[in-house]
Every structure is written in structure tokens, then in C-alpha cells.
Structure 1
Amino acid sequence: MSKPYILVVDDEPDIRQLVSEILADEGYQVDVAQDAAEARRLYARKPPDLALLDIWMPDTDGITLLKEWKREEADDFPVIMMSGHGTVETAVEATRLGAYDFLEKPLSMAKLLLTVERALEASRLQQENIGLKRRLDTWVEPVGRSAVMEQLRQQVRRLAQHDAHAVFSGEPGSGKETFARYLHAHSARHDQPFVDVAVAALTPEHCLAAFFGKEESGEIQAGLLEQAQGGVLFLDEVADLEADTQLRLFGALESGAFQRVGGSAAVPLDVRVIAATRKSLEQEVQAGRFRKDLYYLLNVVSLDIPPLHQHPEDVTELLNFYTDYFVTREKLAFRRFPVAVQNLLRNHPWRGNVRELKNLVQRLLILGNGEEVGLDEVKAALGSGAGPAASPGYALELFNLPLKDARDQFEKAYLEYHLDKHGGSIARLSQAIGIERTHLYRKLHSLDIKFREKG
């Protein structure tokens, strides 16, 4: 495992040299920058695990640079500010913006090393907690007692006893990933990683490195295949996989080994692939957009996940399940769906499938008022899809909350509605609602809105 990578940004040469030498002696990988421009170049090349950042620099001050870095949610890392001319107000501003700590110059090297160690440990624990929360949130048994769902669960449990690759096809939101996780949980690989990949979110220029990892200047960066080693690699919308990656993925799965980008050593591979698609892979092969050899390698077993309108008898159980889910996980007030509402929803076309139903339940619990969900508010919600118009009393409910809680509840319902409307695409969501993409990532994370990038 590679040592943490630390970036030291300071305009004083003596401090850069002293701090970098001490950190290197402690086994850390270290880069130094004399100003913000150089720090930006080094950050673009590789985001650090931790940064030591001077406040006063000749080109751009450290507070401005801190703001830039903290907007990059995907590469969040602890930043320790340093200054010989700092004030209490400056220290407060830095910590408010997300700095881990503030050190005064002249630096105490003992305190610096201790602060670095604690910051890295706190960051590691935070990432582990995020990963654990995601693992706890991700697997649930597919809900439904219909004959269709019972048969499908039985098929998946039988498939789980074997180690063959598989292709799950079905409409968006129908539950392909849920069934993939159900398979994984019942397989011999259940205690190994389940790595889910939103294929459409990977740009062609980064796709190979994302899958196969890379080696650069003696440093190894593990890719998705290594992260899934021993477990399952779930490829969502596999038909969107770019051509070069299709070729190399076939070679890796066929031979049981691969090379990292920039590397020469063979890396052994033991992974099961479950691919999901809304498109017909046979038609994609015929059109020349998907490799025939990769299709046959993956399509050992294929399962069709039916859309919700084909098993409407499961709607009631799904309503109960997601009501309990949001009451338990998000502490929303319990509301009951009476028979008249259930009957209406059983006859709804559910073009967004289970995902649409889940989002509807969440909106009604957040914005509705009263112990029972009313027929009129459901009709309004289904008619407009807008959520807030669903219940005339929702504003009064929000008015009884603290401002921050009311704003967060509304923003969460608003963003989840538009995320679903735009098919889970962060790029289209950003354009539709007029929020910069990096700020949108931070907002989605802060509101605990689950998403996988789809471009």
C-alpha cells in the first residue's frame, strides 16, 4: 500500500525544504509548490491525500485556494493552513471553509507531524464510514410477492450458486442493481467487494485507467478490476462501454490477467461480472457498437427484470417498504396509504418503475400533511410530478421546522425529482437547474442523495 501523498504549498523556500524533508523522513510522499499556480498544476496531476497550505502567497492567497479545493467534492482531502501573520478571524474563516486545522509559524515540527497524523487518520475513518454507510444502504432483498418476483428471486438464488458471468436487462429503475446485489449476497463471494460502475459516466480518455489502473513514476493506482478482486464487478449500462475498453476487458476476463496502464507486469484477475443494460446487446452487436466476443463471454446467463407495470400487485408492498425505509432512515413522519390510494397507484403506468415509486413515497412523506396520504394529493403529484404541489398543507408543515431543516427538506425533494426526471444524469441535471456541476456534487452529498454518475 502506497504511503499518503502530501502537498506542501508555501512561498518561503526554507519552510518548503524543511517541512518536505521531515515528512519524507516519516515515509510520506511529498511534493512542494511555491505558489498557488504551481499548486494547481500539481493538484490537477494528482489530488493529494493531505495539503499543508500557506495563507499569504504572492499570486493567490491560501483561503481562495482552499475554497477551490473544497468545491471539488470528488477529491475531498484534509487541508492544514499555515501562517506567520494569522489572526483569530483568519483561523475561524479557514476552519469554516473546511480546513482541518490552523498552525502558526514558526512551526513546531512535533505539532505539525501530530496534526498531519491525526488529519490523515480522521480522513481515513471518514472514508471508511462513508463506505460502510453505502454498504449498509445498498443491499435489500427485492420486494414483491407476485409470482413474477418469486420466480425471479428463485432464479437469482440458483444463479448465485455458480460463478458464471451474467447479463441483467430491463428498463431504467426496474431493479437490476438490486437483483445483482441480491445475487452477490447469496453467492460464495458474498464477503468480497461489490463494485458498481456507472459506465456512461466514464469518459473515453479516462476509461482505460479507471478499469485497469495505472503505474506512473513507480506509483501504483488500482483500477476498478483490482478493487473488485475476488468479488463482483457490476457494470451498469454496459452497452455504453467504449470500444478500446471492451477489447481490453475481454482480454482480461478471457485470460484471467491484465496490465495496468503504463505498467508491464501481469496482474492476476479473479472477478465475476454482472452486466446490466436497458438496450438489446444483440442489436448492439449487430450494429457494430458492442464486441461479439465480449457479449458471448458475459452473456452466460441472461435475466430480464420486468417493469413494475407488469407486476402491479407488488405496488402495495413496495409502498409499505419505502414508507418504513424513509421513516427509519430519514426519520420522516409516518403516513398511511389507504386502500383507495393503493388502488390508484396499482393502476398507474410507472414509466420510471420502482425508482419512480420510491421517489413518490419520499415526496409525499416530506411534503405531505396528516397521518393519511390523500387521494387528491397523490393525483396532483402524479399529474404534475412536481412534488410541492402535491399537498396544499405542505407549506404549513415546513413552516413549523427550523429554517435550515425546511430548506434542506425542500431542496432534497426538488433535487431528487429533477435527478429522476433527467434519468440520473448529473450533467443534464446541472444544466436544467442552473447549478455548477462541482457545487451540485457537494449539494447532493450534503443532502445524502444517492446517485451514480451517468454523464
Structure 2
Amino acid sequence: MFDVVDSARRLLVVDPCADCLTLLPELRSAGWEVSSCAVDSVAPPPCDVGLLRLQTAQLARPERIKELIRHSNTEWIAVLSPDALRTKGVGDFISEWFFDFHTLPFDVERVQVTLGRAFGMARLRGRGRAINEELGSELLGQSHAMEELRKLITKLAATDSTVLIHGESGTGKELVARTLHRQSRRSRGPFVAVNCGAIPEHLIQSELFGHEKGSFTGAHQRKIGRFEAAAGGTLFLDEVADLPLDLQANLLRVLQERQLERVGGTQAIPVDVRVLAATHMDLEKAIAEGRFREDLFYRLNVLQVETLPLRERPGDIPLLADYFSQLYSQEIGRRPRRFSDDAMDAMKAHPWPGNVRELANRVRRGQVLADGRQIELEDLGLSRSAPTAPALITLEEYKRRAEYQALSEALARYADNLSLAARLLGISRPTFYRLLHKHGIR
């Protein structure tokens, strides 16, 4: 159901012709609020539906019409003569940019039906845009899992503790980190993101901690590292498991002492930074294999967030696909395409090994390749054959995840009082400690 804030139906008539002017009194009687403007108007009035007189001369140079439609966020109906309808390429142009068309002279009853359908679609699209604007570009999704994730982030943002974000590639770990920063008391400070796996090994220490002039060949001047650049704000260490072991030791020391030394320097520099770290790797396995320091793991793993793969929240796919369709239509310079039923079914059935990042790329591809009003599954590079459904996780795994989540939320609420945290969960303090040890928390 829609929240009815404004029941008015606003119609904008662009470059009205004589036939349009005779039609307007009947449309006003039917409840339309009608305004008009020229096609080259700098600031056309806001509207729900637009009626545009399309003439042969305009079809030769359609850029101004495209610009008007692209920036209007509404549904448009083309009005043209039978002769103009026979112009070469006019069918493709109308299909690309207009909701519908009407040839002169007007059939008043048919016009009102078409306007009504366009108004319904405009309100539907407006509803989708409102949802996207409300959620922003951070954590799109209306599934229960995403609602729970947003609640958890709100709780964790209120603390200054280190957070370890774990999840598959493409599940939005950096978006979680940015949301934590935006909702924290450090939101006015900088957010500095570092991809630990993308920096050459011989430069990582200098990138993180900075260096003094002359400390090594090529160090022609002092450089401030990412820790100092994030002072008063948040430092996000993406793919932290890719750090070499010697750098892990240096990172641990900075986290413990809250101060650092630049490469080639001797002065201890205090740092006021909240550290968020992320990885797609199993750190406990990496510890067992000697690739990650156990003491650094416990220093980073104070609070935890698990990002869910897209295949575990298929109900969010329509909203995400619509969001990316609108986003990339602006980049490509085309109107947002709807998705055919086959395309939507295929997206819901696809296992999404690349997660949201893969969905975004496929929708971008669909916007480019689509010929008609809709994006078809072939445009997305998907097949009609339904893939094998992923195996259900065991009941024990569900229990483990539930315990882990409950412990994390209790710690987020009562990080400084473990007795209260245990009481919140209805368990004894010794049991609480045992479960923390079992799940590798604290």
C-alpha cells in the first residue's frame, strides 16, 4: 500500500499544440492539475505525467528531448501526427524514451486511460526511488537479514571498539564499514580505506605508518601514513589477512599502544583512530596454518559483523536490481529499463557467486544491451535453466550462527559489564565466558 501524501495528479504539457489546448479542459475536469512549458525550458514544473508534442524537426535533433525526459523522473507520452509516426527511426525513439504514444486527433477516452496508466507507473517508480533514497547507497535490502544487520550496525556504531567484518567477496564489507563510521561519534572525522592486498609488500609499512625524509631510497620528503591521515576518524583495513606476518606484528603494536613510529623515525606519535577490519578468509584456519597471528586476531575480533551472500537473501534482488538499473541508466544516458518476468525469475534463481557486485555488473550490462523497454535474461547473460539449489546448512550451523550473533549483540550493548551481558542472555557468567571462548570472541 502507498502512503497517500499528495493525491493531486500533475500533468505537464510540453509545446502544446492546438489539439492539446482543446483537450485540457476535459483533463482538468477529470482531476488533472495541468501546467505547460516549452521543450527548452530551463526549469520545467514538477509533474507525474508529461505530454510532449513530438514533431518531425525535433526527431532530427532529439538531444533536448532526451535531456528533459532524463531529468524529469516521470512518465512521458508522445503526441504526434500520423505523418510523423512514419518517420524513420521514430518507433525506436518512442520505445526508448516514452511510456506510450498517441496519434492526432485525440481520442479523449483513450488519452485518459493512457494517462491513468502512466500516472500509476509514475507513482510506482516514485515509491521505488523513495526507498532507494531512504536506504542510500549503503545497505540496500528489505529482508529480515538486512534489517537485523542494520540494527546490529547501529548498536556497534555507538562504541569505539574494533570491529571485524567477515563475508564473501562482493557482499558489501566496505559499505558496512562506511555505515559504521557515518553512524559513529567520529562521523565528522575522515574515513580512510586501505586494501591491504592491493599494496606492494615493500610499501605497506610506509603506506600505513608513514616515513621520514631519507629513510629509504626515494623517500625525498616526509610522508604521513594512513593511520595519521585517519586521526579523529576511522581506518578501514580491507582484506587484513593479506598483511605479511611482520606487518601484522607492527599493526598489533600500534593497536595495543595507540601510537606509532614512522619508517626511519624515532618519535612515538599518538594515534586516535577507530580501526575496522574486513576479510573473506577463515582467520582461524589461517592461524592454524601459521599465516595469521592469533594475538592480532583477538585484538581485531572484539566485535563482529557477518555480511550475508546474496543467495541467502533472494527477496532483496528486485530492489537491488531496480536500484542499479536507475543508477546505471544515468551513467549510460538511457531510461531505466524494467526487467521481464523471465529475467527476474532467472536473477532470483541464480546463485550469485560474485554477490551484489556481480548483480550490479549484470544489470549494467543489461542496460547497455537491452533493445526494447525491458531487460531480458539474455541481456543479463543468464540462462533459463535453473541452477542447482545450494545445499541447506545443518541445524548445528544455524545454532552456531545464532549463538554467535546473540553473544555479539550482548557484548555490543554491555561491552564494559559482562555480568549484565550474561544476564541479558539469561545465562550465568561462567557459561557466558565459555561461549565467548567457544566462538573465539574476545
- The TM-score with structure 2 as length reference comes to 0.53
CA contact (8 A) 1:140 1:182 kept: no
CA contact (8 A) 2:310 2:355 kept: yes
CA contact (8 A) 2:195 2:239 kept: yes
Name the counterpart of 1:326: 328
Match of 2:313 among 287, 311, 314: 311
Name the counterpart of 1:298: 300
Name the counterpart of 1:269: 271
Residues 209-265 of structure 1: per-residue CA shift (max 9 Å, x gap): 111100014932011111111111111111111112111111111111110001111
Q: Aligned pair count? A: 244
Name the counterpart of 1:435: none
Mapping for residues 120-135 of structure 1, pairs under 5 Å: none
In the alignment, is residue 348 of structure 1 matched against residue 350 of structure 2?
yes
5+ residue gaps in structure 1? 1-138, 385-455
Following superposition, the deviation at residue 330 of structure 1 comes to 4.7
Q: Structure 1: how far apart are the matches of 2:330 and 2:378? A: 26
Q: Structure 1: how far apart are the matches of 2:240 and 2:138? A: 23
The SS at the match of 1:302 is strand
The SS at the match of 1:140 is coil
CA pair 203-376 structure 1, distance change in 2 beyond 3 A: closer
Mapping for residues 7-26 of structure 1, pairs under 5 Å: none
Match of 2:226 among 219, 224, 227: 224
Following superposition, the deviation at residue 324 of structure 1 comes to 1.6
Q: Structure 2: how far apart are the matches of 1:238 and 1:383? A: 36
Mapping for residues 54-453 of structure 1, pairs under 5 Å: 140-217=137-214, 219-378=221-380, 381-383=381-383
Q: Structure 2: how far apart are the matches of 1:277 and 1:207? A: 17
Identity fraction in percent:
40
Q: Structure 2: how far apart are the matches of 1:247 and 1:169? A: 21
CA contact (8 A) 1:235 1:275 kept: yes
Residues 327-383 of structure 1: per-residue CA shift (max 9 Å, x gap): 2355343211133321221111101100000000111112222211124433xx125
Residue identity matched to 2:382: L
Larger relative helix fraction: 1
Residue identity matched to 2:336: F
The SS at the match of 2:272 is coil
Name the counterpart of 1:453: none
CA contact (8 A) 2:369 2:379 kept: no
Residue identity matched to 1:246: Q
The SS at the match of 2:178 is helix
Residues 89-132 of structure 1: per-residue CA shift (max 9 Å, x gap): xxxxxxxxxxxxxxxxxxxxxxxxxxxxxxxxxxxxxxxxxxxx
CA contact (8 A) 2:346 2:383 kept: no
Residues 131-180 of structure 1: per-residue CA shift (max 9 Å, x gap): xxxxxxxx722011000110011101110011110111111001111111
Name the counterpart of 1:63: none
Q: Structure 2: how far apart are the matches of 1:220 and 1:283? A: 39
Q: Structure 2: how far apart are the matches of 1:213 and 1:238? A: 18
CA contact (8 A) 2:167 2:306 kept: yes
Q: Structure 2: how far apart are the matches of 1:143 and 1:251? A: 37
Q: Structure 1: how far apart are the matches of 2:258 and 2:312? A: 39
Q: Structure 1: how far apart are the matches of 2:378 and 2:265? A: 62
CA contact (8 A) 2:346 2:382 kept: no
Residue identity matched to 1:191: R
Structure whose alpha-carbon radius of gyration is higher: 2
5+ residue gaps in structure 2? 1-135, 215-219, 385-442
CA contact (8 A) 2:338 2:374 kept: yes
Name the counterpart of 2:93: none
Q: Structure 2: how far apart are the matches of 1:329 and 1:177? A: 22
Residue identity matched to 2:181: H
Residue identity matched to 1:253: L
Aligned-CA RMSD value: 1.7
CA pair 368-338 structure 1, distance change in 2 beyond 3 A: closer
CA pair 372-261 structure 1, distance change in 2 beyond 3 A: same
CA pair 200-311 structure 1, distance change in 2 beyond 3 A: same
Residue identity matched to 2:178: R
CA contact (8 A) 1:253 1:269 kept: no
Residue identity matched to 2:278: A
Q: Structure 2: how far apart are the matches of 1:211 and 1:332? A: 42
The SS at the match of 1:215 is coil
4+ residue runs over 4 A deviation: none
The SS at the match of 2:374 is coil
The SS at the match of 1:295 is helix
CA contact (8 A) 1:169 1:303 kept: yes
